[in-house]
Chain A
């Protein structure tokens, strides 16, 4: 068996996996019947449907010729890691994570951390201009979200504001 379209092959596998997982999960709830549907009925149907479509996509990927094999290509680990890391760092710093003993550092610290980590994802990194950008974003966010829109944020670290 030769894979004719790598993208489709794995996309199909993904759909199959997710479909089976949902269908299997649905059977743990009351399925019921058509006239009296339980909470498991609709997800079971959809899960099976998704698994079927997934297998069809995978099957097609091994049969139908494509020009370039539709390779998935290399994964962009660097942007993937830094963008997600920036997001998680922001979340941890903003609200704190008591389970690992990180206190809430608030919005402003979070914005600086997010901007620096996210900037590492690109090809160029100039610490000075990133610092300027972070300062602009921190000031702008304070004015827009805290002052104008009055959204509820922990703005400063909890050990300062109490």
Chain B
């Protein structure tokens, strides 16, 4: 009896420690990024272009660039991802080929981001001739987050009870009406969860935009989707690896990191808001 209790004590203790460790690393990241980042954060930092070899002024163009790239990636990947998932779950006949497609999509999710970067460079920048631009970067990031969105959307669609589809069809709805008005709205909270996870990834990745969209310095803001942009993750990378004033640059990099977290939080917050709104009819 006592031994059993001891085992349980250690068992729970281990679970508790694991949780604590995860929480602590999150807390430490937030703490260090905030403490260092807040030192440089000011209205000027948010709204000005960089000056004097990045050591003064703000990082506004990078902020804007990251928002463009992230939103662009979502705009591209979300409709295509949902369409793919609908095809795979609702329309396609169950067959070996479909299983192979599913497996490939899951594998695609594990491809390192730098590979997507090279892919974007050869396809969007060179082959389609979009150049190093917001468009190329958004498309590359979009392709990178596509597998995640497809998987999330598939899970969400599969979780919609078959009985709801039957109820809709039995009322004389077509399959398309059933999908559009019943299945998709019911699945949308799950799909939005996928979007939330993807936002963080799209906003934070450096490698995919390094060759396709990002540049270390621009004088102003991009005027069209064919312009190259500054982006926060690449800016952080550049500040930490290049330049002649490492001390000031490190501080600015922390400021950028803090903003990056903030952007992810804001875009995710918007998706969470949408998700809650969609859930208002779910059982409470």
> Real complex partners, A and B?
no
Chain B positions near chain A (C-beta within 8 angstroms):
none
A-side residues, CB < 8 A to B, are: none
